[in-house]
Structure 1
Amino acid sequence: MRDRQTVSVSNGVRNVHPVYLDRALNAEAWDSEGNRYIDFVGGIGVLTIGHRNPVVMDRVIAQCDRFTHSCFNALPHEPYVAVTDWLAENCPIEGPAKSMLTNSGAEAMENALKLARAFTGRTGVIAFEGAFHGRTLATLALTGKTKPYKTGLGPLPGPVWHLPYPCPETGVSVADAMAAIDKLFAVSADPKSVGAIVIEPVQGEGGFRACDGEFLVALRRLCDENGMVLIADEIQSGFARTGKMFAVEHAGVSPDILVMGKGIGGGFPLGAITGAEDVMHALAPGGLGGTYSGNPVACAAATGVFEVLEKDNILGRAKQLGEKYATHIAWLRDLPGGHVIGNMRGIGAMRAFELIADDGKPSPARLQCLLQLARENGLLLMPSGEHANVVRLLAPLTIPFDQVDEAFAIIAKLLPKVAQVA
């Protein structure tokens, strides 16, 4: 299989794990050679309610028996409206909320930027260091990391200004971050040229760094005072991962646009933007849409996700899982080799931990060692972080607790070997 991939797949598509998935169920996966794994990657946060959730599968099969596609712009269908109905009722948007559906989170962010430009008549955007918003051209401009995403691409759409992200891991306070904004407005950008502020309440690729809620409140006030659109990127943090349906709810903040993807589709390609009515109506009819955007099968899957989130109390499960993660990570630190475990961060089940060197500095080498050894012992982990030394825990929120125990037991027995890496 690897030889076939080498022949036909672009080198720009990188794999974290050199195994080929054959089948999966909830939090377990089996590769093409029959090896079983506990899946703490979860499609990078897509499989919030697990691989092949039966409710999602039933909805998908029922929809496939009726029709598999209609472009909503040409011939609308009920599954699309079922999704937007749910979003209108459940997204933390002030006043009447309107939505559009896309194929992915990155596409959703692209459309959010279009709406912000149309609504404000401004092109400037403030984003944050360590952010990840996608690999498309405009979302790359927002992403606060150069390698490997921006290498060799030259100037990107803008203007975009990246500012410090206030959280314990960066050592940047809310006061520091607000001072950076004040300096930007004094030196480089007229506030009236800035149309939007885009922020992840919890950074995904950045290593599950959670923004100080006070900063989100301050950004909301700043946008109101200056006619800017506040865009919350909840592509990875949304749909119960943090113990709230959306992470901005921890701060009690209502963005103008909420950007979603990953977990909304239960494993099917779907993204969404939901926002305030006046912002969402800023483009002329026909200005939003796409051939596959809001595909009826993906929408049917999403309605299954919504049912499971509500009926199975996944919000409560996320809180319990987060507590279990925190307990296990603290336990790892007390074991032989446990000194390689550094800072723990995140909210709810959106948890992560660092791998550090003996001097306390980030250790990407130890992270890579853990990834390989864990895989060889039946556990799939996902890297992240500014220094590529953070393990982010992205198991389905429906994972049985005994499989969580099994996963951490695997990590525990590997720590002495990881500690031998310089």
Structure 2
Amino acid sequence: MVTPTTAPELAEPHLRGLLASIGLDVEYVRGSGDTLYYRDTDGAEIPVLDLVGGYGSLVFGHNHPRLVERARELLEQQVPVHAQFSYHPYANELAHELNTVLRRELGVDEPYHALFGNSGAEAVEIAMKHAELDRVVRVGALRARVAETWAAVQASAPAVPADVTERLELPDTATLDDVVAAAARLNEESFTRAPVFLALEGGFHGKLAGSVQLTHNPGYRMPFSALAAQARFVPAAPGATAAAADAERAEVIVPEVVDGVLRLTVERSPVVAALFVEPVQGEGGIRVLDRTVAAEIRSVADEAGFPVVVDEVQSGMGRTGRFFAAAHSGLAGDYVLLAKGIGGGVAKSSVTLIRGSRYQGDFELVHSSTFAKDAFSVHIGLEVLRMLEEDGGAAYARAAERGAALRAELEAVRAEFPDVVSDVRGEGLMLGVEFADLTASPDPVLAENAAHGLIGYVLAGHLLRRHAVRVFPTASAPHTLRAEPSIYLTDEAITQFGSALRELCGLLRKEDGAALLPV
């Protein structure tokens, strides 16, 4: 399955060695629909059913003819990839069409502005930076207003009662000037609190210096924990979001004068920059956000004043049967992130949508990206969106129907092997099959690979070699295999996957780990 070479491996050699050890070091030479092809030793193409789907990128499969033709047209037209700092009307067109879908699916009644990038991780970084800029602006406005209020109160020279000096831990002899200075010191502590991002446990938001701080898996995050903004992780459970927001509460002291006497009140100062949530956690094990938890997230964020960032990088673009997976739970984000599928499998692009009432126009001057908003990728994005929306949204209906058919097959496998398959979950064509924990298996191959987080890749290598089925585990839940095929997934492919899983489950039931390894 591998083209031999005598040249030393310089392109990620450690990963190459790992792939070879579990039989995943395959060079694919062509992709079409839900099929990838490699060449055997005689040069003949060998088909492989691809259920990885570019980690959710290939809603229409590999090299869809319409998208390939559109790409060819754009290249032949010599559309500019490099026309930075100029007007891009096609980007405005895509933003408007995305807003139309937002209004229909999530009921939002204000426009969302669009910032373009190249990848999902960049969309996350854009959201983090913009949210922090917005928080700083809000802190600055609060600081100025509170200072004006204190100045006005000081000028009116109200009486200072004992409860005010006690609250500020001042002696009874403290003057109004002492009170003003003490309140200013306490307020400054709140104003200068470092920002905190909240993110759900099990979430994955990228591996860049900033975005990795929001990725729950400590193996990805901890080596770089000192580099960037700090996050607090919130269980996806009722009451957890409110508790996390309260734990990060910071208040400033605001004065008022009642009948010539000084009274103190408090206002909340922005500390939480944003809360990040995936409607369906991709790398966290294909876990669907509970509708009750979604409602609480929205309510708590509104009360506390921080924005909700809905990361649709893997779940969006129609894969779940709706354009936005958040539509299933009703969670309308203040930021919505799109990538992967918006490139149609032929372009690299992302869009960060930001609610107009939170948008900071100056951000456009402090953040930029060389390849963002280029004519090629944006026009491909427009074509993908139109393919999803045409014929009354037939693509969404097909995603839901094909997802239901695939899920039925997976549930049938689970029913046959309840001791091996512990769960089947997901939405539409974003499904996960969770296997029982193998870390305590008496088989050393199974136990050792499970303990090192590699068991899912061992299972994937067996499925590839034995059944020509390409499937991968989720990155932070290695006992869960994901299936994210295109909307054109056939019944024959579903049957092939089901048969492959049954054979695999039989080996796991017998605890025959050696049979899973390359010969």
Q: Same fold (TM over 0.5)?
A: yes
Partner of residue 27, structure 1: 34
Q: What amino acid maps onto 1:160 in structure 2?
A: A
CA contact (8 A) 1:125 1:159 kept: yes
Q: Do the aligned partners of residues 146 and 257 (structure 1) sit closer, same or farther apart at CA in structure 2, a change above 3 Å counting?
A: same
Structure 2 Cα separation of the partners of residues 338 and 371 of structure 1: 20
Partner of 1:8: helix, strand, or coil? coil
CA contact (8 A) 2:279 2:329 kept: no
Q: CA deviation at 1:272?
A: 0.6
Structure 1 Cα separation of the partners of residues 336 and 198 of structure 2: 16
Asked whether 1:250 is paired with 2:328, we answer: yes
Q: What amino acid maps onto 2:38 in structure 1?
A: D
Q: Do the aligned partners of residues 358 and 101 (structure 1) sit closer, same or farther apart at CA in structure 2, a change above 3 Å counting?
A: closer
Post-superposition CA distance 1:63-96 (Å, at most 9, x none): 1111243445423334323322221222344401
Q: CA deviation at 1:191?
A: 6.5
Q: CA deviation at 1:360?
A: 9.7
Q: Which of residues 36, 52, 57 is equivalent to 1:41?
A: 52
Partner of residue 209, structure 2: 137
Q: Do the aligned partners of residues 30 and 214 (structure 1) sit closer, same or farther apart at CA in structure 2, a change above 3 Å counting?
A: same
Structure 2 Cα separation of the partners of residues 253 and 287 of structure 1: 29
* 1:126-165 alignment, distance < 5 Å: 126-147=198-219, 149-150=220-221, 152-164=223-235
Q: CA deviation at 1:394?
A: 1.0
Partner of residue 485, structure 2: 395
Structure 1 gap segments, 5+ residues each: 167-172
Q: CA deviation at 1:49?
A: 0.9
CA contact (8 A) 2:199 2:214 kept: yes
CA contact (8 A) 1:40 1:393 kept: yes
Asked whether 1:55 is paired with 2:66, we answer: yes
What root-mean-square deviation, in Å, do the aligned CA atoms of Structure 1 and Structure 2 show?
2.7
Structure 2 gap segments, 5+ residues each: 140-194, 251-267, 442-446, 514-519
* 1:18-417 alignment, distance < 5 Å: 18-33=25-40, 34-71=45-82, 73-91=84-102, 92=106, 93-121=108-136, 123-147=195-219, 149-150=220-221, 152-164=223-235, 166=236, 173-183=237-247, 185=249, 192-267=270-345, 268-311=347-390, 313-335=394-416, 339-357=419-437, 367-376=456-465, 377-384=467-474, 386-417=476-507
CA contact (8 A) 1:366 1:419 kept: no
CA contact (8 A) 2:57 2:340 kept: yes
CA contact (8 A) 1:100 1:289 kept: no
The structure with the larger Rg is 2
| TM-score of the aligned structures, taking structure 1 as reference length | 0.89
Q: Do the aligned partners of residues 233 and 365 (structure 1) sit closer, same or farther apart at CA in structure 2, a change above 3 Å counting?
A: closer
Q: What amino acid maps onto 1:219 in structure 2?
A: I
Deviates more, 1:126-135 or 1:155-164: 155-164
Post-superposition CA distance 1:93-130 (Å, at most 9, x none): 44012111110111111111111112221632111221
Q: CA deviation at 1:288?
A: 3.7
Deviates more, 1:394-403 or 1:261-270: 394-403
Q: Do the aligned partners of residues 242 and 232 (structure 1) sit closer, same or farther apart at CA in structure 2, a change above 3 Å counting?
A: same
Deviates more, 1:112-121 or 1:400-409: 400-409
Partner of residue 170, structure 1: none
Structure 2 Cα separation of the partners of residues 204 and 387 of structure 1: 10
Q: What amino acid maps onto 1:108 in structure 2?
A: A
Q: CA deviation at 1:370?
A: 2.6
Q: Which of residues 1, 7, 11 is equivalent to 1:9?
A: 11
Deviates more, 1:89-98 or 1:2-11: 2-11
Q: Do the aligned partners of residues 177 and 360 (structure 1) sit closer, same or farther apart at CA in structure 2, a change above 3 Å counting?
A: farther
Structure 2 Cα separation of the partners of residues 384 and 284 of structure 1: 34
Q: What amino acid maps onto 1:382 in structure 2?
A: F
Partner of 1:63: helix, strand, or coil? helix
Partner of 1:162: helix, strand, or coil? strand
Give the structure, 1 or 2, with the largest relative contact order (CA under 8 Å, sep 6 or more). Answer: 1
Q: Do the aligned partners of residues 143 and 40 (structure 1) sit closer, same or farther apart at CA in structure 2, a change above 3 Å counting?
A: same
| TM-score of the aligned structures, taking structure 2 as reference length | 0.73
Structure 2 Cα separation of the partners of residues 215 and 129 of structure 1: 13
Q: Do the aligned partners of residues 305 and 6 (structure 1) sit closer, same or farther apart at CA in structure 2, a change above 3 Å counting?
A: farther
Q: Larger % of helix: which?
A: 2
Structure 2 Cα separation of the partners of residues 229 and 252 of structure 1: 16
Partner of residue 169, structure 1: none
Q: Do the aligned partners of residues 163 and 12 (structure 1) sit closer, same or farther apart at CA in structure 2, a change above 3 Å counting?
A: farther
Partner of 2:37: helix, strand, or coil? strand
Structure 1 Cα separation of the partners of residues 336 and 249 of structure 2: 25
Structure 2 Cα separation of the partners of residues 360 and 331 of structure 1: 26
Q: CA deviation at 1:180?
A: 4.5
Q: Do the aligned partners of residues 371 and 271 (structure 1) sit closer, same or farther apart at CA in structure 2, a change above 3 Å counting?
A: same
Q: CA deviation at 1:140?
A: 0.6
Partner of 1:7: helix, strand, or coil? coil
Structure 2 Cα separation of the partners of residues 216 and 98 of structure 1: 23
Partner of 2:221: helix, strand, or coil? coil
